[in-house]
Amino acid sequence: LARALTAPGLRARKGGEKIVCLTAYTTPMARMVDAACDVVLVGDSVGMVLHGLDSTVQVTMEMMILHGRAVRRGIRRALMVVDMPFGSYEASPERAFDNAARLMAETGCGAVKLEGGESIAPTIAFLVARGIPVMAHIGLTPQSVHGFGGYHVQGRGGTRFQLGRDAHAVQEAGAFAVVLEKVVEPVARQITGRLVIPTIGIGASPACDGQVLVLDDMLGLFADFQPKFVRRFAELGTQAEVAIAAYAQAVRDGSFPGPGHVFADTP
């Protein structure tokens, strides 16, 4: 295998060395994430982060394939996981297989991720039985934003029992790992303790077996809003604004381009 990290390899990290995951949508960003992380996720968050959509519901297979192909060219070691977009896997296991197989064939990813628990578990089992490693995603599942009526924290009160059933259902279906998004900490911790597959947290718990963030969020590049669970490890958005304003001023005041940026007629 060209890549060092595989879905079974990551599954075996349960309870051991933390699984580090970030999103990437382009070749240069994938290269940087690959150098430091275990998993590069081509998230359908690309629709909001790079395309200005107001949810992930409008993201298409074509968008995931285009960004997946770009990301693949930047990866040497990490496991590449591509999100199945809304509408590509819910109708039937067969439809899901066709679309997952297309994502794998056209992007070269090593696994797909899809949203949902108990209700989508038969589809996960169908894909896994046919050679497609699946990362599950439960808790806050943004593709269901219209059904949830917002991006609310999950697992409060009685809903924690359904969350527990979802976690066990995706594990029994053969998912090699499960993302827990915006789940109350005690429930994320309990699920992590009970499952034999790794949990990857985002707004979940430090007890999770791994962590994922949207790259542009933690770099301070996507600042439309900042969820509580994001730590900004840089302020690249602010730096970019300052740089662009300085460029505009330099062009206007004639200080750029200067003598060092032009070509003489003889070498």
- Contact region with ligand KIV (CB under 6 A), list: 36-44, 185-193, 229-237, 240-248: 36-44
47 binds Na ion (CB under 5 A): no
Alpha-carbon span 9 to 89, nearest angstrom:
25
> Angle at the Cα of 141 (from 140 to 144), degrees rounded to 5?
115
Nearer to Na ion, 154 or 190 (CB): 154
| Binds 121: which of ligand KIV, Na ion, none (CB < 5-8 Å by kind) | none
Torsion sign across C-alpha atoms 175, 201, 185, 117: negative
Active site residue 118: no
| Binds 114: which of Na ion, ligand KIV, none (CB < 5-8 Å by kind) | none
* CB 64, CB 95: distance < 8 Å: no
For the bound state, the minimum distance from the C-beta of residue 94 to ligand KIV, rounded and expressed in Å, comes to 24
Nearer to Na ion, 141 or 190 (CB): 141
Alpha-carbon span 29 to 40, nearest angstrom:
10
The residue within the footprint of Na ion, chosen from 83, 166, 181, 216 (CB under 5 A), is 83
**Burial letters for 138-159: b for 16+ Cβ neighbours within 10 Å, e otherwise?**
bbbbbbebeeeeeeeebbeeeb
Nearer to ligand KIV, 137 or 189 (CB): 137
For the bound state, the minimum distance from the C-beta of residue 173 to Na ion, rounded and expressed in Å, comes to 19
The residue within the footprint of ligand KIV, chosen from 7, 10, 22, 23 (CB under 6 A), is 23
| Binds 109: which of ligand KIV, Na ion, none (CB < 5-8 Å by kind) | none
- Residues within window 146-205 making contact with ligand KIV, judged by CB under 6 A: 179, 202
Alpha-carbon span 163 to 150, nearest angstrom:
18
21 DSSP β-pair partners? 39, 212
Which class for 227: exposed (0-12), middle (13-18), buried (19 or more C-beta within 10 A)?
middle
Out of 17, 94, 181, 185, pick the active-site residue: 181
Q: Residue 194 half-sphere exposure, CB side, CA atoms within 13 Å? A: 15
* Tokens 């050679």, located at residue: 131
Position of minimal CB gap to ligand KIV:
43
| Binds 214: which of ligand KIV, Na ion, none (CB < 5-8 Å by kind) | ligand KIV
| Binds 23: which of Na ion, ligand KIV, none (CB < 5-8 Å by kind) | ligand KIV
State how far Cα 139 lies from the chain centre. Answer: 15
Contact residues for ligand KIV (CB under 6 A)?
23, 41, 43-45, 83, 179, 202, 212, 214
Specify binding-site residues for 3-methyl-2-oxobutanoate: 44-45, 83, 113
